[in-house]
């Protein structure tokens, strides 16, 4: 049994949901497809597909095998492209994970440039604020806010970004702007629900002040925090990139600009123990270009 061929047949069966459909796409007879799948299941000693009147669906083992097999096939296709010496021939699927707000504001609007460079590459972009498990979810590369602690990933720091106290002009018209960090204790703060830290440390020259934050509203996603701040419901402490368009337009203002907070770090993450492929390197370079541009255009 040709293992790579068997994987190719299995992946195609899962993707189209039938032996006959896979046979048509592979330009072979249906009995050939059925035979290959039977041989593969016998070789692995487990059922990969559930057969019913509604079609074919992978078993749990089949789903895991599909995800790895699809990746192997893509890597083989990429190896062929590299051997031909043309990076423009990058193809297959590239699965990346990015934080929702950072992706919506800064990455997604520019992805058309990337797909124009590599038209044969299929992008699967997962936008989520949670810490995605790269291995179990089949992610090739992730952009993450904060230093990684997971030993199952390797990382490269993209940038360190400024954090500021942010508020809308409407909020500041109702409540006087803070003149010192201690004033924040009397303001309505909009904070992350998953964060337990209700204190912030401000520094200026040799002076350091730690203040308590009174949270009138806690939200689980950056999009919610943005909406609450922009509608004048409170102040927040956030990375400047999170409100970059509004800072530039004057729809949000920095408070306590003479004081500094601990910077936020932006990282590129890759699954550990896996060679970084050419398509992942291409995307990593593209994201780096965008972040470098943000650093230069900091409002």
The CATH number given to whatever domain includes residue 142 is 3.40.190.10
Strands, DSSP E only, in 87-214?
Answer: 92-98, 121-127, 141-145, 153-161, 163-167, 189-192, 199-204, 207-212
pLDDT value at position 81?
A: 66
Same domain, 156 and 274: yes
Same domain, 174 and 238: yes
DSSP-assigned letter for residue 197: -
DSSP-assigned letter for residue 31: H
pLDDT value at position 215?
A: 80
Domain assignment of residue 284, yes or no = yes
Task: For residue 177, count other CB atoms closer than 10 A to its CB.
Answer: 15
Same domain, 137 and 283: yes
Same domain, 156 and 269: yes
Candidates 265, 238, 263, 262; CA nearest to 252 is 238
Tracing tokens 């920095």 back to the chain, one arrives at: 254
pLDDT value at position 184?
A: 92
pLDDT value at position 39?
A: 92
Domain assignment of residue 81, yes or no = no
pLDDT value at position 77?
A: 73
Domain assignment of residue 77, yes or no = no
Same domain, 270 and 155: yes
Contact between 184 and 284 under an 8 Å Cβ cutoff? The reply is no
Q: What is the mean pLDDT of each run of 10 residues along the chain (299 residues)?
A: 88 85 87 91 91 80 86 75 63 88 92 91 88 78 84 84 94 92 91 73 92 85 93 93 92 95 91 76 92 73
pLDDT value at position 85?
A: 60
The parent domain of residue 123 ranges over 87-160+265-296
Domain assignment of residue 182, yes or no = yes
Cα atoms found within 13 Å of the Cα of residue 114, Cβ hemisphere only: 24
* Whole-angstrom distance, CA of residue 266 vs CA of residue 170: 30
Domain assignment of residue 180, yes or no = yes
The radius of gyration of the chain from alpha carbons, rounded to an integer in Å, stands at 25
Domain tally, the chain: 3
H/E stretch holding 41 reads helix 30-44
At residue 85's C-alpha, the angle toward residues 84 and 88, to 5°, is 100
pLDDT value at position 98?
A: 94
Q: What CATH number should be reported for the domain holding residue 34?
A: 1.10.10.10
pTM of the model: 0.69
pLDDT value at position 224?
A: 93
At 134, list the tokens: 């790269």
Same domain, 10 and 39: yes
**Three-state secondary-structure class, residue 296:** helix
Same domain, 150 and 197: no
């Amino acid at each position: 049994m040709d293992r790579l061929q068997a994987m190719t047949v299995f992946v195609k069966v899962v993707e189209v949901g039938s032996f006959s459909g896979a046979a048509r796409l592979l330009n072979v007879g249906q009995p050939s497809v059925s035979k290959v799948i039977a041989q593969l299941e016998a070789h692995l000693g487990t059922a990969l597909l559930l057969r019913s009147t509604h079609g074919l669906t992978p078993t749990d083992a089949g789903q895991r095998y599909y995800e790895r097999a699809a990746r192997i096939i893509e890597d083989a296709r990429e190896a062929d492209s590299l051997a031909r010496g043309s990076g423009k021939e990058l193809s297959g699927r590239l699965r990346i994970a990015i934080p929702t707000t950072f992706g919506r504001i800064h990455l997604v609007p520019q992805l058309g440039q990337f797909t124009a460079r590599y038209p044969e590459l299929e992008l699967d972009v997962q936008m989520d604020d949670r810490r995605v498990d790269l291995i179990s979810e089949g992610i090739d590369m992730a952009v993450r806010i904060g230093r990684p602690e997971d030993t199952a990933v390797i990382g490269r720091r993209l940038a360190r970004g400024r954090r500021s106290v942010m508020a809308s002009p409407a909020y500041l018209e109702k409540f006087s702007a803070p003149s010192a960090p201690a004033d924040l204790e009397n303001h309505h703060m909009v904070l992350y629900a998953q964060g337990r830290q209700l204190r912030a440390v401000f520094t200026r020259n040799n002076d350091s002040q730690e203040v308590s934050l009174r949270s009138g509203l806690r939200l689980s996603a950056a999009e919610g925090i943005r909406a609450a701040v922009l509608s004048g419901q409170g102040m927040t402490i956030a990375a400047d990139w999170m409100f970059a368009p509004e800072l530039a337009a004057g729809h949000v203002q920095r408070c306590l600009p003479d004081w500094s907070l601990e910077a936020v770090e932006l990282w590129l993450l890759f699954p550990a123990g896996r060679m970084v492929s050419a398509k992942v390197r291409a995307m990593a370079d593209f994201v780096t270009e965008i972040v470098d541009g943000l650093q230069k255009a900091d409002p």
